């Protein structure tokens, strides 16, 4: 089976400073894989490269075995079925919840399908239906995370990129978020998650990569990684 997403020897820099150097990873359809790393390790940089928001210095990002994402523009990449739950949610605060969701499928021509999916979101997240016409900026952190995830699902993606979904959220909400990720994954949507919260992430993931200052230093099935000393020392000491 061809990997859904295959990254080979990826290198990115900010000006003269290298952020990611020689990263290779892959994810199969329907899998949930996580990239673990501390701040500044380069996790978000990889996500931005996949989304076409940052051009790599070197390396290939192959989707579905045929599309080279490094050569495409972000809106084209979105059309291929890749959606983003950004770090810190990054909703449009001056727009309503409904408009935020609508923007999630901006270029979709199939308005009926989009409307149906938005309705599905409201069914799954009744709280969002209540807040439908409220400005997104007025919602709580947990509610904003729901909107961010719903916004990503509205376009019917095959691959979801989740960037630190637990960041800044209360512990009880964090548990819900990871459970939600598992639920989405069970529906068949592949998830590539980047996280600092190793313990929770490894509970839901199929496999994990360890990223340290731009290099992958370890990788393997989630339960194996969870037992490794390197992970224990670096992450499990402080995570929720």
Number of C-beta neighbours around residue 1 at 10 A? 7
Under rule CB under 8 A, residue 234 binds other proteins: no
Q: How far is the CB of 25 from other proteins (least distance, A)?
A: 10
d(CA 192, CA 47): 9
- With CB under 8 A as the contact rule, the residue among 8, 28, 64, 176 that binds other proteins is 28
Under rule CB under 8 A, residue 18 binds other proteins: yes
Q: How far is the CB of 220 from other proteins (least distance, A)?
A: 6
- Residues 63 to 82: which contact other proteins by CB under 8 A? 73-75, 77-79
Under rule CB under 8 A, residue 83 binds other proteins: yes
Under rule CB under 8 A, residue 187 binds other proteins: no
Under rule CB under 8 A, residue 111 binds other proteins: no
Burial letters 11-45, b for 16+ CB under 10 A, else e: bbbeeeebbbbebebbbeebbbbbbbbeeebbbbb
Q: Tell me the three state secondary structure of residue 212.
A: strand
Under rule CB under 8 A, residue 38 binds other proteins: no
d(CA 50, CA 35): 14
Q: How far is the CB of 213 from other proteins (least distance, A)?
A: 5
Q: Kindly state the number of chain residues that form the binding site for other proteins, as judged by CB under 8 A.
A: 57
- With CB under 8 A as the contact rule, the residue among 7, 43, 46, 54 that binds other proteins is 54
Confirm if 152 and 123 have CB atoms less than 8 A apart. no
Location of structure tokens 């579905």: 64
d(CA 134, CA 119): 17
What DSSP designation does 103 have?
A: H
Confirm if 163 and 133 have CB atoms less than 8 A apart. no
Under rule CB under 8 A, residue 93 binds other proteins: yes
- Residues 120 to 159: which contact other proteins by CB under 8 A? 151, 155
Binding-site ranges for other proteins (CB under 8 A):
1, 13-19, 21, 26, 28, 30-31, 40, 42, 44-45, 48, 51-54, 73-75, 77-79, 83-84, 86, 90, 92-95, 99, 103-108, 151, 155, 206-207, 212-221
């Amino acid at each position: 089976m061809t990997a859904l997403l295959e990254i080979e020897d990826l290198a990115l820099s900010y000006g003269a400073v290298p952020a990611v150097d020689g990263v290779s990873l892959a994810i199969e359809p329907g899998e949930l894989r996580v990239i673990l790393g501390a701040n500044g390790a380069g996790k978000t940089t990889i996500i931005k490269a996949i989304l076409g928001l940052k051009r790599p210095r070197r390396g290939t990002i192959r989707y579905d075995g045929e599309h080279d994402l490094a050569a495409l523009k972000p809106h084209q990449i979105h059309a291929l079925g890749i959606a983003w739950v950004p770090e810190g949610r990054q909703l449009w605060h001056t727009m309503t919840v409904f408009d935020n969701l609508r923007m999630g499928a901006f270029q979709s021509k199939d308005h009926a399908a989009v409307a149906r999916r938005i309705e599905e979101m409201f069914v799954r997240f009744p709280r969002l239906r209540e807040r439908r016409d409220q400005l997104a900026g007025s919602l709580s952190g947990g509610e904003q995370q729901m909107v961010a995830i719903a916004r990503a699902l509205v376009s019917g993606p095959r691959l979801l990129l989740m960037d630190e979904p637990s960041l800044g959220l209360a512990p009880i909400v964090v548990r819900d978020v990871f459970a939600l990720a598992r639920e989405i994954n069970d529906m068949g949507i592949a998830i590539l998650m980047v996280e600092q919260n190793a313990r929770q992430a490894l509970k839901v993931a199929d496999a994990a990569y360890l990223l340290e200052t731009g290099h992958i230093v370890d990788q393997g099935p989630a339960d194996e990684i969870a037992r490794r000393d390197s992970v224990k020392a670096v992450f499990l000491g402080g995570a929720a």
